[in-house]
Structure 1
């Protein structure tokens, strides 16, 4: 946790970053202390990524929100890129994505993050959004324990023009290396398909628990 907070500070200007918020969902390790020592604000929330993301947005003081997973690093001057996009009336968007891996298989799928289509979106690409649009959209659906990023972005595509910034965040390939690249990508694909065919949040979570979480 301390590492990503340091990266956020190194790759942005203090004048642009009003606060860095870490939303803790009841961790039992040293996450809270590490985050505080690194200079972040810590908010406590019931466990659940959608709940935690909404809680962070609720207490954020700025007019622009930037959601970033702890295992994903933004590019240098990410703050300027986002502010420039907002100035051009782009109220929501994300960066393209790369993995911290030389895997051709993973890099093949990462290449598609440059395409502006809902099927190419995911939480690992990070998300910037004006607080006004976030509140108008209703935020993340807390019924979703998994797939909350995709569900939310699909609604945002209907509400506003979605922007893909021409630089890359870099996300960890650790889970793919642990579970198997092809196997994990297959299961993510099945979750996308199940959602498309009308599966609800509990059905998606049940599949995730059986096929990915174990």
Structure 2
């Protein structure tokens, strides 16, 4: 499935809800870059998220709330041959555009993601990062906070993100692995530590594993999402 993507346009799709505190740094990390458009998909923010995004030249559209729905809505209006899904509290590395184009040109590659760096100086978070990066490199199972990317063609073949209440990134990766290789870029994106700091590093990590086990056991994504709301681990 390799192809010439050296000059392919990249559409960066950012689902957001009340992210005024983080969105400026996220948008700044998308620049400078070449052949890139930025689409912010707002789920009903009550703060200055939309105004900040517009001031940085992003295209802003609205969508029903829900990360999968918002990302699929953004993809539906994207004009790029490559789609990059970026969380609103995650910053891209320099030259991300060059790196991901090269990554997608490799034979057999259908999608990819970056390594993860969590923005807090805690030794326990370095261990979390290590686990995430081992999982991504060897098991080919990156998650959404690692800036998943793939071509629009492959995204359409997959019918986009499954519109689940939670675990949409996990399920998409499972499906993509059946189609080809998920590549791993060792240069990290930098994501906010807020969900780990809010409840505690080990509590959050344990809850994440419980959620995965519950999903495999057939617990509905709606019920799993309810647990997340109870634990206040996710914004949306």
Shared fold (TM-score, shorter chain, > 0.5)? yes
CA distance in 1, matches of 2:150, 2:141: 18
Which is helix-richer, 1 or 2? 1
Residues 2-57 of structure 1 deviation map (CA, whole Å, 9 limit, x = unaligned): 221122114xx23x31x100000111111111111111000110111100000011
Give me the TM-score of the superposition, normalised by structure 2. Answer: 0.83
Structure-2 residue corresponding to 1:190: 210
CA distance in 1, matches of 2:223, 2:154: 29
CA distance in 1, matches of 2:185, 2:142: 13
8 Å CA contact retained: 2:104, 2:112: no
Which stretches in structure 1 are left out of the alignment for 5+ residues? none
CA distance in 2, matches of 1:141, 1:66: 16
* Pairing 1:58–2:80 present: no
CA distance in 2, matches of 1:105, 1:151: 27
Structure-2 residue corresponding to 1:121: 142
- How many Å apart are 1:190 and its aligned residue? 0.6
8 Å CA contact retained: 1:141, 1:148: yes
Structure-1 residue corresponding to 2:159: 138
CA distance in 2, matches of 1:123, 1:74: 13
CA distance in 1, matches of 2:39, 2:211: 30
- How many Å apart are 1:148 and its aligned residue? 1.6
CA distance in 2, matches of 1:76, 1:3: 13
Counterpart pick for 1:106 among 125, 129, 137:
125
Give me the TM-score of the superposition, normalised by structure 1. Answer: 0.91
Which is strand-richer, 1 or 2? 2
- How many Å apart are 1:192 and its aligned residue? 0.9
Structure-2 residue corresponding to 1:4: 26
CA distance in 1, matches of 2:145, 2:138: 15
How many corresponding residue pairs? 209
- How many Å apart are 1:203 and its aligned residue? 2.4
